[in-house]
Amino acid sequence: MSTIFYAFGILLFVAVVLCVEGIYLWWSNAHGPAAKRIEARLRALSAGGHVSAEQLSILKKRMLAGSPRLQKWLMSVPRVGALDRWLEQSGSTWSVAQLLGYCAMVALCTVALIPLLPIPVPLVLAGAALAALLPVLHVMRQRAKRIKRMEAQLADAVDMISRALRAGHSFSGALGMVGQEMKAPIGPEFRTTFEEINYGVALDEAMTNLAIRVPVGDLRYFVIAVLIQRESGGNLAEILDTIGTMVRERLKLFDKIRVLSAEGKMSAWVLGLLPFGTAGLILVVNPGFMKVLWEDPIGLRMIGGALVSMTFGVLWMRKIIRIRV
């Protein structure tokens, strides 16, 4: 009896080990680094511009949604490709369906607080509509941060291409060197362009796709310079040196402006969030003190006027402190 018990224990241990190893292999194949690289490659190709309709539909079946019905519905939504490209530019692994699902989930969680909050239902619904935008704002913030990192890396990438051209490398080989040597996020974008050229895509189309995937103004100057040089000739290395110098000077000026406008940005955040924070604190400490705002018609008018005034004030301050360089 003891022998059977020990044998059963050993077999159970082996079965648990094999089960854990199988789960690990499944997770590694589905969510590991190699799977993420493949998914990023598919997203990059679909978010680029010049592919045929058949290829675009095949790629987007993997990307927009896992459900065929939801996939078909999303494909019928106008400008869904632009939304997918926007997600690609943010570097997010979310699909379009996941983004919409997160927005709906946040809105439903906010609506579920109706029985717990002493606030009228219309105000809670309005708050749910605003809360549904939180995932979108998160993606927007990721996109802005990624674009800033690309702008900071672009000057070094252009200098590397210029040095590679002077050393005798071809332009496509210089793009491959940037893709290997530069870190994310700009390195993988140049590597995608290099691989598109190797797969037979024309250089003009590959560079245009790069400008579409990376919404950086200085990079578009780089693409335009390359395309013009291919048509009219000239020393591309000297042109790239000029572009690199221009990018660095622009970043220096932008840093100075950002320091000078930091106080205005902080004031905008404080003035915009202080009324909501104060109202929430009063609602927790003394709920009856806030009821007059939605029980009295004059209070509703005051809330509407305050929101309109705050919106105009925030937009005006944003216009003052946002200086394009």
Whether 43 contacts 81, CB under 8 Å: no
pLDDT at 1: 52
Q: What is the overall mean pLDDT for the chain?
A: 81
Ramachandran region, residue 38 (left: φ > 0; alpha: ψ -120 to 50; beta: rest): alpha
pLDDT per residue rounded down to tens, the chain (325 residues): 567 666 666 767 777 777 777 787 777 766 666 666 666 655 555 444 444 443 333 333 445 666 667 777 777 777 787 888 888 888 888 888 888 889 999 999 888 887 777 777 887 888 888 889 999 999 999 999 999 999 999 999 999 999 999 999 999 999 999 999 999 889 999 999 999 899 888 899 999 989 988 889 889 989 999 999 888 888 899 999 999 999 999 888 888 888 888 887 888 888 888 888 888 888 888 877 878 887 888 888 888 888 888 888 878 877 877 776 6
Whether 205 contacts 230, CB under 8 Å: no
Question: What b/e string do you get for 108-127 counting C-beta neighbours within 10 Å, with b at 16 or more?
Answer: eebbeeeeeeebeeeebeeb
CA distances 133 to 6, 11, 173, 215, Å, are 58, 52, 43, 22
The secondary element (H helix, E strand) that includes residue 315 is helix 297-321
pLDDT at 49: 46
Q: At what angle do helices 262-285 and 236-260 cross, to 10 degrees?
A: 50
Give, as one character, the DSSP assignment of residue 183. P
Could you give the angle at the alpha carbon of 136 between the alpha carbons of 32 and 253, nearest 5°?
A: 95
Q: How many CA atoms lie within 13 A of 175 on its CB side?
A: 21
pTM, two decimal places: 0.68
152 Cβ neighbours under 8 A, 6+ residues apart = 251
Residue 52 DSSP SS3: coil
